[in-house]
Amino acid sequence: MKRDSLRKLAMLATIAAAAAFATGSAFAQIKERTLKFAFQNQTGHPQAQGAQKFADIVAAKSGGKIMVKLFAGGSLGGDLQTVSALQGGTVEITVLNAGILSAQVKEFAAYDFPFLFNSGKEADAVTDGPFGQKLMARLEEKGLHGLGYWDLGFRNLTNSKRPIVKADDIAGLKVRVIQSPIYIDLFSALGANATPLPFPELYPALDQKAVDGQENPNTTILSSKFAEVQKYITQTRHIYNPQALLVSKKTWDGMSAEEKKIISDAAAEATVFQRQASRGAADSALDALRKAGMTVSELPPEEMAKLRAKVKPVIDKYSASVGEATVKELMAEIEKARK
């Protein structure tokens, strides 16, 4: 009996030693490093929540060897500056509106077509599927490696001048837009004075009345405290923003297979979490904005139809520049998702 007990103890000790050796061997393939993760929204925003989840998972999976340091609120610069920093390897990770990447790969502009998606789940099916993955693969030659797509939600219009209750009410407003040609053309088509600005410069521009309004999802409007400097919000839902989660290719190429697996697995887990957090926060954000004193309006169906008619030439223009084959493929994927 005693001999059996000793044999069992010896066996357990052997298993424990093997496990420790295996764990040690796995961690031996992981280099101690700190990765800078820069993004535009403030701490507490679903974008920041996703980034924190990603950082926590990476730390756990790497045994604390890989630490992800978060830089929120555009503290390392606007999106275009951050993409350039990733290409140069001075910043390792970012997440940004996928359409901004049209400066790198023109087909990304298709994500910013007005009134493209009806829901976030519809967008997930397209971005997680062949279309979205093919676009991500195109970024490799631009010094960027795609890790997945997050959710920012549907964009809505705010301003400090007047309630927008008709499509024509947008005319004459000076509206800050993303530094992307399609956004400039979109709001120009609506009669606004479209003013591209990096996100970190937006609040001061609104506060100083350099611009009358801006357009962003409700969660961003709330977390950025735009209710302090904007009175009116209209639920236009004119663009849905998939966000691209990216790592510098210089950093990626310098990682071991084990490190790449940790980053990829963490990205996949954080993506599920971030999408749920973002969509769960969208409705409560609107209620919070209303309580903060913003006047909320919805355009009636006939006015939404006018908006769609006004922006159709913009869709036609960018369909030609993106490529008819790409647009056809995208629309086919959306149809498949709707069925």
What CATH number is given to the structural domain containing 305?
3.40.190.170
> What pLDDT, on a 0 to 100 scale, did the predictor assign at position 4?
54
Written as six digits, the tokens of 211 are 């611009």
Long-range contacts of 49-54 (CB under 8 A, 24+ apart): 49/273, 49/274, 49/277, 50/95, 50/150, 50/270, 50/271, 50/273, 50/274, 50/277, 50/278, 51/95, 51/270, 53/269, 53/270, 53/273, 53/274, 54/245, 54/266, 54/267, 54/270
Written as six digits, the tokens of 190 are 């609506």
> What pLDDT, on a 0 to 100 scale, did the predictor assign at position 210?
98
> What is the distance between the terminal CA atoms of the chain, rounded to a whole angstrom?
66
Name beta bridge partners: 37: 70, 93
Residue corresponding to tokens 């790449």: 260
Give the structural domain span for 216.
Answer: 32-338
Tens place of pLDDT per residue across the chain (339 aa): 445 555 555 544 444 444 444 445 556 689 999 999 999 999 999 999 999 999 999 999 999 999 999 999 999 999 999 999 999 999 999 999 999 999 999 999 999 999 999 999 999 999 999 999 999 999 999 999 999 999 999 999 999 999 999 999 999 999 999 988 999 999 999 999 999 999 999 999 999 999 999 999 999 999 999 999 999 999 999 999 999 999 999 999 999 999 999 999 999 999 999 999 999 998 899 999 999 999 999 999 999 999 999 999 999 999 999 999 999 999 999 999 998
Domain membership of residue 81 (yes or no) is yes
Q: Nearest Cα to 243, choosing from 332, 324, 333, 132?
A: 132
Domain membership of residue 193 (yes or no) is yes
Domain membership of residue 82 (yes or no) is yes
Domain membership of residue 25 (yes or no) is no
Domain membership of residue 254 (yes or no) is yes
Domain membership of residue 10 (yes or no) is no
> What pLDDT, on a 0 to 100 scale, did the predictor assign at position 16?
46
**Residues 220 and 45: beta-carbon distance below 8 Å:** yes
Q: How many CB atoms lie within 10 A of CB 102?
A: 20
Written as six digits, the tokens of 262 are 């940790």
**In the chain, how many domains are there?**
1
Instruction: Give the 3-state secondary structure of residue 71.
Output: strand
Domain membership of residue 19 (yes or no) is no
Domain membership of residue 99 (yes or no) is yes
How would you class 99 by CB atoms within 10 Å of its CB: exposed for 0-12, middle for 13-18, buried for 19 or more? buried
CA pair distance 219, 239, nearest whole angstrom: 14
Written as six digits, the tokens of 58 are 């990476």
